[in-house]
Amino acid sequence: MKPPHVAILDDEPEVRRMLSDALEEAGFRTTSYGRAAEFEIGLKRSAPDVCLVDLGLPDRDGLALVHRLALESGAAIIIISGRAQVQDRVTGLELGADDYIIKPFDPAEVVARIRARLRKGRAEAERVLQTARFAGWVAQFDRYLLVAADGSEVPFSHAEGEVLRIFLESPKRLITRAQMQESLGGAAGDSFDRAMDVRISRLRTKLGEDPKNPRLIKTIYGAGYIFLGEVVWS
């Protein structure tokens, strides 16, 4: 997979350098331009995935440029501007910019915002399967399936999945019964806690736990539960 290409348009050389340094360190390819005329020539040679555009250009009205870019280019357009008024931001976004960052900016935030833009573009294809690995198991939450170390598959139900998710999201930490009820959306009190017990019990059997010596879901008498075991999400 090729690294995404970011085009930078800003008349101040220091700003250009700061941006290109940060972006290349973050794994992007960059091309920098100081004037709108060069920028447009560069666009014809290679289509960037993201355009960072400063509005205060010497040779062209920045907003008009943004508008044309939005219509003609498929790239994500991010304005970087010293003009901080709300009205400036609103018109910039209305004209087709995908984001508006105010100077002075932090390069780390620029990187994060670029990533957010690129993510949506290819989000569906790249969406990582929501899976967790622990103690030889692989839990696939998008398929409601547990895969054992030997490859055998054990389906789990929605109720069991909710409990399992809570455990896997905070392993090695005490989870009180009240917390778990809250997460499961159940009204605390009367007889719902018994339902929770049953859910945990059924989950334990699916995980092949030895009731007398549970290795994964440990009961803390009078307090709650702890999920032991290294969890790696991917």
Partner DNA sequence: CGGGCGGATTACAATTCGTAACAATTGCGA
Partner DNA sequence: TCGCAATTGTTACGAATTGTAATCCGCCCG
Among a copy of itself, DNA, none, residue 212 binds (CB under 5-8 Å by kind) = DNA
Give backbone dihedrals phi and psi of 86, rounded to 5 degrees, phi first: -60, -40
Q: Which of residues 203-222 bind DNA (CB under 7 A)?
A: 204-205, 211-212, 219, 221-222
Out of 198, 215, 232, 233, point to the residue binding DNA (CB under 7 A): 198
Nearer to a copy of itself, 31 or 121 (CB): 121
What is the contact surface with a copy of itself in residues (CB under 8 A)? 37, 40-41, 59, 64, 71-72, 76, 86, 89-90, 93-94, 96-99, 106, 108-109, 111-113, 115-117, 119-121, 127-130, 142-144, 157-159, 169, 172-173, 182, 185, 218, 220-223, 226, 228
Binding mask 151-170 for DNA (x = CB under 7 A): ----x-xxxx----------
Facing residues of 8 across strands?
Answer: 32, 52
Contacts to DNA by CB under 7 A:
155, 157-160, 177, 186, 191-195, 197-202, 204-205, 211-212, 219, 221-224
